Amino acid sequence: MELARRGALLTLSSRKPEELDRLIAELPADGHRALPADLGDDGAAEGLAAEAGEVDVLVANAGISGTGRLDDFSPEEMRLALRVNLEAPMLMARILAPAMVERGSGHLVFIASLSGKAASPRSSVYNATKFGLRGFALGLRTDLARKGVGVSLVSPGFVRDAGMFARSGGSTAGLGTTTPERVAAATARAIQRDRAEVAVAPLRQRAMAHIGLTAPAVAARIQSGPVAGRTTEAIDAGHRGQDGSG
- Per residue in 161-198, pLDDT (tens digit) is 565 555 555 545 556 677 888 999 999 999 999 999 99
Question: Could you list the residue range(s) of the whole structural domain that residue 159 is in?
Answer: 37-239
SS3 214: helix
Share of the chain above pLDDT 90, in %: 61
- What is the full DSSP assignment across 147-183? TT-EEEEEEE--B-SSSHHHHHT---TT---B-HHHH
Whether 16 maps to a domain, the answer reads no
Contact of 33 with 12, CB cutoff 8 Å: yes
pLDDT at 234 over 60: no
The helix (run of H) or strand (run of E) holding residue 34 is strand 33-34
Q: Which of 177, 187, 182, 128 is nearest to 153 (CA)?
A: 187
The total domain count for the chain is 1
**Lowest mean pLDDT, pick from 19-23, 120-124, 180-184:** 120-124
Q: Pick the residue with more confidence: 245 or 234? A: 234
**Cα–Cα distance for residue pair 28/44, rounded to 1 Å:** 28
Whether 183 maps to a domain, the answer reads yes
pLDDT in tens, 28-41: 989 999 999 999 99
Burial class (CB in 10 A: 0-12, 13-18, 19+), 193: exposed
SS3 58: strand
From the centroid of its chain, how far is CA 111? Answer: 3
Q: Which amino acid is at 17?
A: P
CATH number at residue 207: 3.40.50.720
Catalytic residue numbers read 126
Whether 89 maps to a domain, the answer reads yes
Own/partner long-range contacts of 137-141 (Cβ < 8 Å, ≥24 apart): 137/108, 137/110, 137/112, 137/197, 138/196, 138/197, 140/93, 140/97, 140/108, 141/196
Whether 76 maps to a domain, the answer reads yes
Share of the chain above pLDDT 70, in %: 83
Query: What one-character DSSP code corresponds to residue 29?
Result: S
Report the chain's mean pLDDT, rounded to a whole number.
86
Whether 227 maps to a domain, the answer reads yes
Whether 3 maps to a domain, the answer reads no
Whether 153 maps to a domain, the answer reads yes
How would residue 244 be classed by pLDDT, with cut points 50, 70 and 90?
very low
Whether 163 maps to a domain, the answer reads yes
Q: Residues with Cβ < 8 Å from 176, sequence gap 6 or more?
A: 157, 158, 201, 202, 204, 205
How would residue 243 be classed by pLDDT, with cut points 50, 70 and 90?
very low
